[in-house]
């Protein structure tokens, strides 16, 4: 049900969504505010950024029994153009759910719950991450089962590496994934997420961005020119 301040304008309303990555415990989740006029093409990138994914793989939404997504050459095709379908086009009620799947090899399934419909004043500009728990899994770890095993491997390696360092050993040549050195499963930086969401909002409607794949480093790199700030 829409707040009285919104009337029947679903596109003007602000939706509070909870994104929960299934198959992993303790829970990895995010809570985000987005406006109803956000297209599903844009929502894909919002979810990628707020979760911490790198946009390397295909994706799919399933809302109200129908699949939606961005059609890429050699990938999935969809009946509807995700650039024309808005979050507010659907008759949401509190606690309604839909799914977002990313990487059909790893099969990262996200359950998304519409927690609240708020008035337009609840969001001043770009989508905003309200809260979150734990770090996004690294890419290419083999889905939830692979993640669970690899984080155990990381913990075991770090524990042993600490003792070896104290014994004076050189661990720099250890044969393990590079993310073993830096990945912190319990870490979540809401401030960084919101900085990146602000940049996504600046690219709203940019077809080069909407259809981009292969990481966000180019879009999120700090400016280095004379007008950088």
Bridge partner list, 18: 31, 113
Model pLDDT for residues 19-56, shown as the tens digit of each residue: 999 999 999 999 999 999 999 999 999 999 999 999 99
Residue 186 burial by CB count (10 A; 0-12/13-18/19+): exposed, middle or buried? Answer: exposed
What are the two backbone dihedrals, phi and then psi, of residue 130, each rounded to the nearest 5 degrees? Answer: -80, -40
When pLDDT is cut at 50, 70 and 90, the band that residue 159 belongs to is low
> How does residue 3 score in pLDDT terms, banded at 50, 70 and 90?
low
DSSP H helical ranges for 57-142: none
pLDDT for position 110: 98
What sections of 5-142 are H helices per DSSP? 40-51
- CA neighbor of 220 nearest in space, from 43, 33, 48: 48
Please tell me the distance from the alpha carbon of residue 72 to that of residue 41, in angstroms, as a whole number: 12
The whole-number average pLDDT for the span 155-175 is 68
Instruction: Write down the pLDDT at residue 163.
Output: 67
Express each pLDDT in 113-138 by its tens digit: 999 999 999 998 889 999 999 999 99
pTM: 0.85
């Amino acid at each position: 049900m829409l707040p009285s301040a919104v009337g029947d304008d679903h596109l003007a309303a602000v939706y509070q969504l909870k994104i929960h990555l299934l198959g992993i415990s303790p829970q990895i989740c995010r809570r985000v505010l987005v406006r109803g006029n956000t297209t599903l093409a844009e929502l894909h990138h919002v979810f990628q950024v707020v979760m911490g994914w790198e946009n390397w793989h295909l994706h799919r939404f399933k809302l109200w029994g129908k699949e939606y997504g961005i059609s890429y050459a050699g990938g999935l095709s969809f009946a509807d153009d995700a650039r024309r379908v808005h979050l507010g086009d659907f008759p949401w009620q509190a606690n309604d759910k839909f799914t977002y799947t990313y990487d059909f090899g790893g099969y990262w399934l996200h359950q998304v719950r519409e927690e609240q419909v708020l008035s337009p004043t609840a969001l001043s500009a770009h989508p905003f991450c309200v809260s979150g728990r734990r770090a996004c899994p690294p890419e290419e770890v083999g889905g939830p089962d692979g993640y669970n095993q690899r984080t155990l491997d990381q913990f075991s390696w770090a524990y042993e590496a600490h003792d070896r360092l104290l014994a004076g050993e050189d661990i720099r040549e250890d044969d393990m994934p590079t993310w073993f050195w830096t990945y912190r499963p319990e870490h979540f930086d809401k401030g960084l997420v919101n900085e990146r969401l602000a940049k996504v909002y600046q690219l709203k409607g940019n077809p080069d961005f909407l259809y981009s794949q292969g990481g966000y480093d180019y879009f999120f790199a700090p400016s280095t020119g004379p007008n950088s700030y």
